[in-house]
Amino acid sequence: MTLQHFFDSEYPKSSNSRDIWSVIDAITNASVKVSDDLKKAALLDNVLGAQGGQNIQGEDQQKLDVIADIAFIDAFKKSGAITGIGSEENEKFVSFDTEKSKDADYVVLFDPLDGSSNIDVNVSVGTIFSIYKRLSQYGESTELKDFLQPGTEQTLAGYVLYGTSTMLVLTWGSGVHGFTLDPDTNLFILSHQDMKMPVSSRLYAMNEGNIQECEPGIASYIKYCQSHDNDYEGPYSGRYIGSLVADFHRSLIKGGIYIYPNVPAAPKGRLRLLYECNPLAFIAEQAGGLATTGRIRILEINPAELHERAPLFIGSKNMVQKAMSFLS
Ligand code: AHG
Ligand code: MN
Ligand code: MN
């Protein structure tokens, strides 16, 4: 079953459903382009390597960060259903401000390419996105308040994983569904209906290079994972890809926990609340998992700024709860 067929049969019929389809359609169009570029990256000029600048967060931009950013923004502009966007790669939100977009219902927040340190080594990367209904007046430009809504207000969230297959994983609040790109037709086909995250597993993911630098509860939890005194009575397996989207996808299918706590180099966490934590938290909860900062639910945070960061504990419900119990 194609994504469009699935959407037509499952998405609640409302005056908004055509617009939501336009948003999804824009995402799939841009992701097919990015997926093609990634597949041929080393054979193309000007695709791999550093862009030679930094984004607003002081991170080195890769050429593909910028290529993906432009591809998605172009597709969102064309869709007619989106009034403005906020992107990890742009300092400020962009209000599209065309006649049509000024009356559009939705804003998108997105990480065009997650895991960009993995691009040059042919390891999975992804695009993560989150869609909200605007709060500003119709007929006017987008305002900051449209983008600073808590994650509980998301209409739709998802990610595209450019892995050994290209997959789109989506939720609109009634379960999580996965679609695999058929490269022969460029159509996304339903391959994983109603995905449920196992409540526990023996897999944990953390950049353990940071272990001495985190609050002591984190090291105690990791020690628990590695010990014989845990719920499996033996060491868990450590799995860390370094692309959040790919680490999360593994947890969604096989169960597991992903932890990125506060560290001195990133005192408020490394991951971005609006582009990474919220969309994945929505998906995690819809699949029966949990997403917290280690103390509070990610989706209930009231964002204060566009590029806000948060510590993230995400994955299998029992594992996230257990990890939180180690924090004082
Ligand atoms: P991005 O490529 O969008 O900047 O995100 C990178 C994130 C995330 O994908 C990953 O899990 C984490 O940063 C890796 O950080 P470390 O290199 O500190 O482990
Ligand atoms: Mn990212
Ligand atoms: Mn990114």
Which pLDDT value is given to residue 276?
98
Confirm whether 14 is domain-assigned: yes
Give yes or no for residue 313 having a pLDDT over 80: yes
Last residue of a domain, one of 192, 214, 232: 192
Residue 211 CB–ligand 1 contact under 6 Å: no
How far, in Å, CA of 107 to CA of 93, rounded? 10
Which pLDDT value is given to residue 171?
98
Last residue of a domain, one of 139, 170, 192: 192
Q: Which residue owns the Cα nearest ligand 1 atom 17?
A: 242
Cα four-point dihedral sign 240, 244, 246, 247: positive
Last residue of a domain, one of 169, 192, 215: 192
* In a shared domain, residues 159 and 232: no
Confirm whether 198 is domain-assigned: no
* In a shared domain, residues 228 and 154: no
Structure pTM? Answer: 0.97
Q: Are 251 and 315 in contact (CB under 8 A)?
A: yes
Residue 116 CB–ligand 1 contact under 6 Å: yes
Residue 115 CB–ligand 1 contact under 6 Å: yes
Residue 210 CB–ligand 1 contact under 6 Å: no
% of the chain at pLDDT higher than 90: 89
Ligand at minimal distance from the CA of 113 is 3
Cβ–Cβ contacts within 10 Å for residue 163, how many? 17
* In a shared domain, residues 45 and 134: yes
Q: Are 156 and 128 in contact (CB under 8 A)?
A: no
Instruction: Specify the CATH number for the domain of residue 305.
Output: 3.40.190.80
Chain-wide mean pLDDT for the chain? 95
Ligand at minimal distance from the CA of 68 is 3
* In a shared domain, residues 177 and 253: no
Instruction: Specify the CATH number for the domain of residue 23.
Output: 3.30.540.10
Tokens describing residue 271: 């991951």
Atom of ligand 1 nearest to the CA of 209: 19
* In a shared domain, residues 187 and 264: no
* In a shared domain, residues 90 and 229: no
The contacts of residue 248 (CB under 8 Å, 6+ apart) are: 159, 258, 280, 283, 284, 314, 315
Residue 250 CB–ligand 1 contact under 6 Å: no
* In a shared domain, residues 179 and 255: no
Tens of pLDDT, residue by residue over 82-92, are 999 999 999 99
Tens of pLDDT, residue by residue over 34-82, are 999 999 988 887 778 887 778 777 777 888 988 999 999 999 999 999 9
Confirm whether 135 is domain-assigned: yes
Confirm whether 197 is domain-assigned: no
* In a shared domain, residues 224 and 294: yes
* In a shared domain, residues 230 and 312: yes
Domain that holds residue 175: 3-192
Which pLDDT value is given to residue 44?
80
Per-residue pLDDT band for 131 (boundaries 50, 70, 90) equals very high
Q: Are 212 and 177 in contact (CB under 8 A)?
A: no
46 burial class (0-12, 13-18, 19+ CB within 10 angstroms)? Answer: exposed
Residue 207 CB–ligand 1 contact under 6 Å: yes
Per-residue pLDDT band for 219 (boundaries 50, 70, 90) equals very high
Tens of pLDDT, residue by residue over 103-129, are 999 999 999 999 988 998 999 999 999
How far, in Å, CA of 244 to CA of 109, rounded? 17
Give yes or no for residue 242 having a pLDDT over 90: yes
**N- to C-terminal Cα separation, the chain:** 48
Q: Which residues pair with 301 in a beta bridge?
A: none
Atom of ligand 1 nearest to the CA of 118: 2
Confirm whether 47 is domain-assigned: yes
Per-residue pLDDT band for 238 (boundaries 50, 70, 90) equals very high
